Structure 1
Amino acid sequence: MRPTNITRNIGGWLTEAEGHYLYETAKKVKKGNAIVEIGSWKGKSTICLGLGSRDGRGVKIVAIDPHTGNSEHRRRFGKVNTFAEFKRNIHKAGVSPYIESILDTSENASHTFYGRVGFIFIDGAHELKSVWSDWKLWFPKVIDNGIVAFHDTWHYPGPNFATAIILLTSHHVRHPRLVDTITCFEKVEKNFFLDRIQNTCFVLYRTLVGFWGAVKLSYSSRA
């Protein structure tokens, strides 16, 4: 069963391809490493990660979210608190044993997390300052050959600009990939010239085709 069959009725913003990507990537993370999710909302993406961990090597998923909504959520919905619904959803999906919920901001959580990160999914506040802070705080915790993924990287300026700058300037990332609105890549100790060429070409490619992922996301969303 595809993970999105389980998460279809859960509020959130995730396409079927994105959910499947999270599931498959989580499934491959090796024991001794953690999966970190920044921004959980009501657990849609968390469940995809949890199902992947369950069907893979059973690694811990650290789900970080104050559950009071980011600035965009508060503009759209007013005052929110999604933690109770988040807990109900992950329990119903049977992935609670794999999830460690941290009811805090990404910045605060980063100061008390000392584990090795095999895969990080960054989907917190989308302002450039927040996205860049998540990157700077958490990238050093990702192991070499670990995977970094950002959500909403075509239609939100913050994730779009941050990932473009990373791919165009960093000597520590390679093999970028676009899954609808997710931009993901691998961390390495040092990339090569051809990797940097590929990274640059990917940014141009995403600019041209990323629109379709954003359209798919708009039809897959429910608050």
Structure 2
Amino acid sequence: GEEYFDPDLDDGEGGVSSLLHFRANIRAAGLEGTVIPALSPSQVVARLPIVPPALVFIDGGHSMPAALADWQNWGARVMAGGLLAIHDVFPNPADGGRPPHEIYKLALHSGLFKEEKAVKSLRVLRRL
């Protein structure tokens, strides 16, 4: 299981689900006709032929294999000028899960992205 998650997201079956919160936020923002959620494991969706996304939000697993899979499957797919947002980036390991910070560093060192903005534990990178 995941070590770090908001207890309000407990799905009652031993898992974590933010889908209800996500859908409510998309609806409240008036983005239901723009945002297309992918409700499958990252590796499954990444195999589909899709138009390069303008925004990829990585708020996935906090294990190193899960975070690396998100980066490897999605980092290079962001369209030029698009955004890669990575949640739960904590430079200090005592503050939270480390793998999102590691893929954030990979993205910066890849030469594909530059940091656009940092807000609390969210890092937003722009594709060059």
Instruction: Please report the TM-score for the alignment, with normalisation by the length of structure 1.
Output: 0.44
Higher Cα radius of gyration: 1
- SS for the counterpart of 2:105 is helix
Following superposition of structure 1 onto structure 2, how do residues 55-70 of structure 1 map, counting pairs within 5 Å? none
Change (3 A) 1:156 1:95: same
Instruction: Using the aligned pairs only, state the percent identity.
Output: 20
Distance apart, 1:123 and its partner CA: 0.4
Change (3 A) 1:113 1:122: farther
Change (3 A) 1:72 1:143: same
More helix by share: 1
Equivalent residues of 2:63, 2:99 under 8 A apart: yes
What is the CA RMSD across the aligned residues, in angstroms?
3.0
Equivalent residues of 2:76, 2:112 under 8 A apart: no
Work out whether 1:131 is the aligned partner of 2:67: yes
Gaps of 5+ in 2: 91-95
User: Equivalent residue for 2:42?
Assistant: 106
Give the letter aligned to residue 186 of structure 1: R
User: Equivalent residue for 1:71?
Assistant: 2
Equivalent residues of 1:90, 1:96 under 8 A apart: no
User: Equivalent residue for 2:93?
Assistant: none
Change (3 A) 1:158 1:100: same
- What is the alpha-carbon distance in structure 2 between the residues aligned to residue 122 and residue 84 of structure 1? 14
Gaps of 5+ in 1: 1-69, 189-223
Instruction: Please report the TM-score for the alignment, with normalisation by the length of structure 2.
Output: 0.70
Give the letter aligned to residue 185 of structure 1: L
- What is the alpha-carbon distance in structure 1 between the residues aligned to residue 23 and residue 81 of structure 2? 34
> Paired residue for 1:142, among 74, 78, 82?
78
Distance apart, 1:152 and its partner CA: 0.6
